[in-house]
Amino acid sequence: MKQLFNLIGSTIKYFATNWIAIAALAISYLNYRQNNSQIEIDSTGQSDWLLSLLLNSGESIVNENGLLHVNLRIINSSGSDISFFDLIVLSSNNKQLTYHCQKQHNVFTRLEERLIISGLKSDYDIIELNIPETNFGTLKSHSLTSLDIIVPADDISSELFVFFKTTKKNWVFRKNKIGYINSPYQSFSASYRVEESNKPNYKEALEVLRKQ
């Protein structure tokens, strides 16, 4: 019993003597937790088909093989902005697919100063789109970033995967299980089912659009 009281007394004395250092350590840990990368992916896992992309010039972009649309919602609940990069789209057979970015519209594509602003769905409803500027960007603190990924359906399988890295390094004992497996940076992904049965007849739809 005497040893127990001695241990308790020594513990109290230690905390009383070193309380400033302990408090500083606790504050540092709380700051680390607050500012550490806290990224979440909010995805329905669904995709839909678009007949065309509408530009702010009144022009449109079409693809006779179809345009597949998925929405990537990224939540940054941390107290600091976080940059992301290497945004890519893969098919289920691990083939990297192209997707539309605003920066693709330039003098070389003869689409300078034109922006994709909306999409025409297969039921002819129009939806607003937030197309990525390019394959990198910034996730604002305490915010949700919604990106509309549009993939030309030239070679699409039954599932799509969207990956991106952040500028936050991986924890020492944590490895990426999916995505950029060998990357030292944290990576995130979302998967989407592709319903071929819902794919419209694009040749017929485009003929209708041309006659309008």
Q: What are the boundaries of each domain within the chain?
A: 1-35, 38-211
Q: What is the pLDDT of residue 97?
A: 93
Q: What is the pLDDT of residue 106?
A: 63
Residue 24 has pLDDT above 80, yes or no: no
Q: Kindly report the CA angle at 176 between 170 and 181, in degrees rounded to 5?
A: 110
Burial label, 13 (beta-carbon count in 10 A; 0-12, 13-18, 19+): exposed
pTM score, whole prediction: 0.76
The string of DSSP letters for the chain reads -HHHHHHHHHHHHHHHHHHHHHHHHHHHHHHHHHHS--EEEE-----EEEEEEEETTS-EEEEEEEEEEEEEEEEE-SSS-EEEEEEEEEETTS-EE----GGG-STTTT-TT--EEEEEETTS-EEE----SSS-EEE-TTEEEEEEEEEETTS--SEEEEEEEEEEEPPTT---SSSSTT-SEEEEEEEEE--GGG---HHHHHHHHHH-
Mean pLDDT of the chain: 80
Round to whole Å and give the CA distance between 83 and 22. 33
Instruction: With CA atoms as reference, report the closest residue to 136 among 116, 112, 166, 113.
Output: 166
Q: What is the pLDDT of residue 173?
A: 47
Q: What is the per-residue pLDDT across 161-193, written as a single tens digit (0 to 9) for each?
A: 999 999 988 765 455 545 555 678 889 999 999
Q: What is the pLDDT of residue 202?
A: 79
Q: Which CATH class is domain 38-211?
A: mainly beta
Residue 27 has pLDDT above 60, yes or no: no
Round to whole Å and give the CA distance between 176 and 170. 8
Q: What is the pLDDT of residue 198?
A: 83
168 or 37: which leads in pLDDT: 168
Q: What is the mean pLDDT of residues 122-137?
A: 93
- Give the distance from CA 102 to its chain's centroid: 16
Q: What is the pLDDT of residue 180?
A: 52
pLDDT band at 54; cut points 50, 70, 90: very high
pLDDT band at 29; cut points 50, 70, 90: very low
